[in-house]
Structure formats: structure tokens, C-alpha cells
Structure 1
Amino acid sequence: MAEPFQPFEPHGHGGPRIREIPLRMVLPNLITVLAICAGLSGIRLAFEHRFETAVTMVLIAAFLDGIDGRIARMLKATSRFGAQMDSLADIVNFGVAPALVLYAFLLDRAGSPGWIAALLFAIACGLRLARFNVLDEEEHPVGWQSEYFVGVPAPAGAVVVMLPIYLVFIGAIAPDRTLGFLSSVFTVLVAFLLVSRLPVYSGKKIRIPGDRVLPLILGVAFFILLLVTYPWQTLSISALAYMIFLPLSARAYSRRAKIEEEKATMPDAQ
């Protein structure tokens, strides 16, 4: 008589044993988990009406989620598991957390349109991340086109969409029903920018001349000091500057595309 429970081979042959995984492989995943904890904590704090701490936690989550992949590459600790976990964390930290914090603080004043705007932003962020993963796997742009993102990156969208909150914190605007409707429109606009085909310069291939490294370090240190001392003013100016940068980036892309097209057709004209 056959036994009721037959032995079976674990899926994936069980994977590596815990003791066989080096610590450097665990560190990036640990940072991803901390980012998720920060994002979800921000949502809780928002519904407890501790909004400044909530926004801070969401920004910390976005920062941690933005560096975990870079740390993994620096440590040569990239893995398929880490990549999948990072993708799942992105939708929480860049989409769900900012949308819910913004809704709890401002968008709920607009009623159902505010909730629709929050949903659209979270969905747009998920679509943006899915498109990024697909393009990263299937398409590998070469040359100058690889210097541009397709649409606004999710981390930038998460920081920019909370601009109305920053402005309220510094006392520039009052959190009333009118601002709730205006913030809903702004949230939908940012959601559209996430899923658009807008070329956004990434700066990944910028090379800093040796004689400008020290001034650059000084400038970064100055920005961090401003961020720590005047966080909401600095974030407001940064978000506004990024919105101004977007049409300039698209214009630069169009000019570069025209120049490259003329170079490609020049031999035919001869």
C-alpha cells in the first residue's frame, strides 16, 4: 500500500542553504526591506495626522529604495531574487505611499476626485515601473539615446507629486478645499508624466573633470546642509526646478535627434 504522503523534490531544489549566502548578498535586500518599512510607516503616520514625520518617512523610503540596487552592484551582490524584490518594493515606496500620504493630507478635501487622482498616480507608477523592466530586458538603446529615460522616473515622480505638501509646510499656501482640487489636478499631471514618452535626461554618462570634483563635492554638501536645515523650502525649490527641467530636457533631445538624423543622411546627399 502506497504511503499517503509521497516524498517530493522541493521546487528549485531548495535553493542555497542559509549558511551558504554571504553577508554582502543579504545587505541590499535588507535595505529594500527597510525601505518598505519606512514607506508603510509613513502611511500609518499620515492617518495619525503626523504629516511632517510621514512625509519624511516616505522620502527616506524613496531614498533607500533608490540606492539598494546601486549598493548591490557595488558589492557585486546582484541576484534575480533581489531584482524581483526591489521591483515589488518600488510600487509601494514610489506609488502607494506618496499617493496615500498626499490623500490623507490634501486630496481628501476634494472628495472623490482626490481619491481618483491618488489611485491614478499609484497605477501610473506601477505602469511606469513595469515598462522600465520590460524595456530594460528587451531594448538596449545605444549611443546618445541611452542617456535619456522614457517618461519621468518613478523616484522623481514620488518626490515631485508631494510638492503641494511642501508648500503648505512652509506656509506658502493654505490647505483648503480649493487646494485639494488643484492638488488633484497636479497629481494627475504627474501621473501622466510618469507614463508619457517624454525624454528625460538621466545624467548617467556625465563625466566630471578632475579639476571640478572638489567644487562638486562642496556643492553636494551644501545641498545636503540646506536639506537638513530647511527641508521643505529646499524640496519645494528642487521640485519646481525639476518641473522646469523637463521641457528643457525634451527640447535638448529633439535638437540632438535632429543633429544625429542630419549626420546619418549626409553620406546619401553626397
Structure 2
Amino acid sequence: MPGPFPPFEPHGGGGPRIREIPFRLMIPNLITVLAICAGLSGIRLAFEHRVETAVIMVLVAAFLDAVDGRVARMLKASSNFGAQMDSLADIVNFGVAPALVLYAYLLDQAGSVGWIAALLFTIACGLRLARFNVMLDDPDRPAWHGDYFVGVPAPAGAVLVLLPVYLGFLGIPPSQEFAVVASIYTVLIALLLISRLPVYSGKTSGTRIRRDIVVPLMLVLVLYVLILASYPWQTMAVSAIAYLLFLPFSMRAYSRRAARYEEEQHAKAGEDGTAAPG
């Protein structure tokens, strides 16, 4: 007699059927569920005026949502089910949660303008995630494009859009004027999400690190974590501003690499006696 719940199929029905599921296959999905719980709890805490804890919960949700895929690859537990669940969690943790936390803390003082800004950010995040999923299936995309995101990635957008909250924690009063400025800033971040701006990701070429800089890099990372623990909002504000300042350099690096790639393709086409691809 079948039970009341359908069986868990880690491959979404497309892989081999197995009677017992190894626990390691469930770990990435559990991380995703915990990320959703953290994001939704952040929304509740924000409307209960516990904003600092709410922001921490949203940042925890973004962190968990960013690592669940890596955990799945490390444990060799990737599945269609997990991929679909992760996509649904992303819109909650990177779009809905930060927008509503920002609205509850500040944007509501701008009235309808603040609500429109929050909605635009959430919709832009959804569009950004949909475009990312579609581009993963593009067979004609050059391999080196994997080093760059198209537009600001959703996790970074979630951290960036909360910059007015960090500044509020540092002493800027949540006035109506500040809310209007924050609304404009929120729309700008939404535009960065759906833009064609190339943003360096380091996913492929950054996986290997020169042996002589491993120890200094570890020291820098530990120092950053210690500073973050001691001065959380100052560190988050500086990190968000530094990321925004980094974007033009990323675009310039992409342009140089694209030009070099085009030269290589033309040179290769000249050697083969064929036309270079467009």
C-alpha cells in the first residue's frame, strides 16, 4: 500500500530509481530549506522592528543559498530536484526578503515610491535569475564567459540593496528624505541586476591559486572575518561600496579579454582559411 507522501526522487524522475536515499543527497536540499526559513524569518523580524536581527537573517539566507550548490558538488549530490528547489529559493532569499526588510525599515516612509522601488528590485531579481538559468543552457557561449556574470549576480544584489540599512545602523536617521534617496538607489541596483554589465565571477580561473599566495590569502580572509565580527555594519557598508567601485574595472577587463578573443579567432580563421565566427 503506498504511503501518504510521494517518494523522494533525487533525480526528478530522470535518473535511476533507488529504494533508499543516501543521507548525503538530502544535505544540499536541507541547506536550501534552511536558507528559505532564514529569509522568511528575516521578513517577520523586520516587521516586528527587530531590524538588525532581520538583516543578519537575510545575510545568513544569502550565504546558505550561495553554498548549497557547492556542497552538492562536493558531496556529488547534485540533482534536478535540488536545482529546481534552489531556483525557487533564490527569488525568496535574494529578491523578496531583502526588498521587504528594506521596505519595513526605511522605504515605507517614501510611500508608494518606496513600495514601487521594492517591487522593481524583486521583479528584477526574478528576471536576473531566469536569464541566468537560460544562459546555462547556451551551447554557443565561449568557455571564458564563465569567468563573468551578465549583470550583477542576485546574491551580490541582495547585499548591495541593503546598503541604506547599514548606513542607518551607523547613524543616518531613517527620514523621509533618506527614504526617497534609498528608493532611487534601490531602482539603480535593480537596473544593475538586469543589465548586460559583465561582472567578474572567478568561478573557473579562480579555482586554482598560486602556492606562494595561499598563506597571505588565508590571512586576509581571516582578517576580513575578524573585522566583520567586530565592526559588522561598517564592514558591510565598505564592502558594498567597494563592490560598486569594482564594477567599472570588471567591465574594462571583460572588454580587453573580448578583444583578445576576437583577435585569436580571426588569427585562427586566417590560418584555416575560413571566416571567423561572429
- TM normalised by structure 1 equals 0.91
Structure-to-structure mapping, 1:132-211, within 5 angstroms: 132-139=132-139, 141-171=141-171, 173-204=172-203, 205-206=205-206, 207-211=208-212
What residue in structure 1 maps to residue 236 of structure 2?
235
Whichever residue aligns with residue 109 of structure 1, its letter is Q
Give per-residue Cα distances to partners, 1:25-50, cap 9 Å, x unaligned. 01111111110110000000000000
CA distance in 2, matches of 1:133, 1:185: 28
Give per-residue Cα distances to partners, 1:195-226, cap 9 Å, x unaligned. 11110011111231111111111111111111
What residue in structure 2 maps to residue 245 of structure 1?
246
Structure-to-structure mapping, 1:30-179, within 5 angstroms: 30-139=30-139, 141-171=141-171, 173-179=172-178
Name the stretch that deviates more: 140-149 or 25-34. Answer: 140-149
What residue in structure 1 maps to residue 263 of structure 2?
262
Whichever residue aligns with residue 43 of structure 2, its letter is I
Whichever residue aligns with residue 122 of structure 2, its letter is A
Name the stretch that deviates more: 206-215 or 157-166. Answer: 206-215
1:139–1:119 Cα change, 3 Å: farther
CA distance in 2, matches of 1:136, 1:160: 24
- Aligned with 2:149: secondary structure? strand
Conservation of the 8 A alpha-carbon contact between 2:120 and 2:190: yes
CA distance in 1, matches of 2:62, 2:9: 30
Conservation of the 8 A alpha-carbon contact between 2:65 and 2:90: yes
Gaps of 5+ in 1: 1-6
CA distance in 1, matches of 2:184, 2:7: 51
- TM normalised by structure 2 equals 0.88
Give the C-alpha shift of residue 90 in structure 1: 0.4
Give the C-alpha shift of residue 177 in structure 1: 0.5
- Aligned with 2:31: secondary structure? helix
CA distance in 2, matches of 1:109, 1:141: 44
- Aligned with 1:149: secondary structure? strand
1:177–1:258 Cα change, 3 Å: same
- Aligned with 1:102: secondary structure? helix
What residue in structure 1 maps to residue 219 of structure 2?
218
CA distance in 1, matches of 2:187, 2:153: 15
Gaps of 5+ in 2: 11-16, 274-278
Conservation of the 8 A alpha-carbon contact between 2:9 and 2:81: no
Conservation of the 8 A alpha-carbon contact between 2:166 and 2:237: yes
